[in-house]
Amino acid sequence: MVCVLLFQCQVFMKDRLRILTVEDEPAVTHMLALLLGGPGAKITNACDGWMALMKIGAAAEPFDVIITDHRMPRMNGLDLVRRLRVRQFTGKIIVLSAYLTKENIQAYEELEVDMMLAKPFDVGELQLAMDLLTKKPSAPFTAPLAAPAVNG
């Protein structure tokens, strides 16, 4: 019975959503952990883009979602996203910032971030964004192909 419970726990741990929050304000980091944490998520925190890259490099499994602030010490969110794109990061990226100027928005759009939310943001907006971005799309229906003609 213990083996069965261990196996179920390992499967559960593997299926959890892995989220990296990149934020230099401890209060916002704490709030994100409260909002996004739970049995279906594994939250990792980094205080700036530089620390985020270190944690990404050291992670045993890739992150599914990265939520980053824009304005941070050492490396800002824009530089972080640029480096993530160079590394071909395939997860979802959400930018949360009080400093979303037209220039910043355009730069993030060119880097194809998945979502941008202005601070202060509504809790419902963040939860909706996470739901939309992490929902696994159903497989599209495709009709079977006709068998190729055989000569003879």
State residue 37's pLDDT score: 83
Q: Which residue has the tokens 């709030």?
A: 31
Residue 93, classed as helix, strand or coil, is strand
State residue 39's pLDDT score: 81
List, in order of start, the domains of the chain with CATH numbers. Answer: 17-134 (3.40.50.2300)
Q: Where are the beta strands (DSSP E) in 12-152?
A: 17-22, 41-46, 65-69, 92-97, 115-118
DSSP-assigned beta bridge partners for residue 95: 68, 116
Low-confidence ranges of the chain (pLDDT < 50): 1-14, 136-150, 152
Q: Which residue has the tokens 């509504």?
A: 122
**pLDDT tens profile 1-41:** 333 333 333 333 446 889 999 999 999 999 899 888 878 88
